[in-house]
Chain A
Amino acid sequence: EAGVVQSPRYKIIEKKQPVAFWCNPISGHNTLYWYLQNLGQGPELLIRYENEEAVDDSQLPKDRFSAERLKGVDSTLKIQPAELGDSAVYLCASSLLGGAQETQYFGPGTRLLVL
């Protein structure tokens, strides 16, 4: 079974430029998560989707960040414009139904460097 796929794995951009990250969850997983992981920190949830509906986007900085999950499968996270402080690892995870006890399966992440 294929795991969570993310691309690109690495991205270097200049500040004020836009950037997008793509995530393909495990087949059949209804719930998808985007996390932000700063250096030396644990992941922090940005947004959670159940199918195509964003059910928790309270931690997503909506002035510059946006996300979508068309058809309830793949998802894209966008930053426009990027700032120096956005340099971090962006992790995508998925789970079957999104219940409280369910295991989340993480992708390898996209490492973003903003210059």
Chain B
Amino acid sequence: AQSVTQLGSHVSVSEGALVLLRCNYSSSVPPYLFWYVQYPNQGLQLLLKYTSAATLVKGINGFEAEFKKSETSFHLTKPSAHMSDAAEYFCAVLRVTGFQKLVFGTGTRLLVSP
């Protein structure tokens, strides 16, 4: 069955620093992978998705993620953090066995300090 693991429930960076949020997946078939962001008291918003095209995926707000099959990873990065990036980030994989559905990780809270 498809699943994702997010390493680190909290990540703290300074404004202007590199953002790296880790996600590893488990899948016996080529996966569809997603990153969503959730701002306080709001729903989830899609940042980017990998659908087996280019391995480097660019998303909104300057975020990007690289699919690495050899490492079973799909880490999210942003070169320079902004205060407005503070939020909860969820990695998800599309489960394709049985009923198709998104399976989310437990999330990583990004804290950005001035």
Query: Which residues of A come within 8 Å of B, CB atoms?
Result: 3-4, 40-45, 48, 55-56, 58, 91, 93, 100-101, 103-109
Contact = CB atoms under 8 A, between A and B. Distances in A.
Q: Which 10 A-B pairs have the closest CB atoms?
A: A42-B104, A106-B43, A56-B99, A106-B44, A45-B101, A107-B43, A101-B51, A108-B43, A103-B46, A42-B90
Interface string B85-114: 000001010101001111011110000000
Q: Is the interface of A mostly helix, strand, loop or mixed?
A: loop
B26 to A, nearest CB: 15
B12 interface: no
Contacts of A40: 9, 106-107
Interface in B1-42: 9, 32, 36, 41-42
Given A55-B99, A103-B46, A108 B106 contact: no
Question: Which size class do B's interface residues fall under?
Answer: 20 to 34
Contacts of A48: 99, 101
24 contacts: A3-B43, A4-B43, A41-B107, A42-B90, A42-B92, A42-B105, A42-B106, A43-B44, A44-B104, A45-B102, A48-B101, A91-B43, A93-B44, A100-B32, A101-B51, A104-B46, A105-B46, A106-B44, A106-B45, A107-B43, A108-B42, A108-B43, A109-B41, A109-B43
B44 A91 contact: yes
Given A41-B107, A43-B44, A43-B104, A100 B99 contact: no
Nearest to B46: A103
Contacts of A100: 32, 94, 96, 100
Contact of A108 (B41, B96, B99, B101): B41
Contacts of A108: 41-43
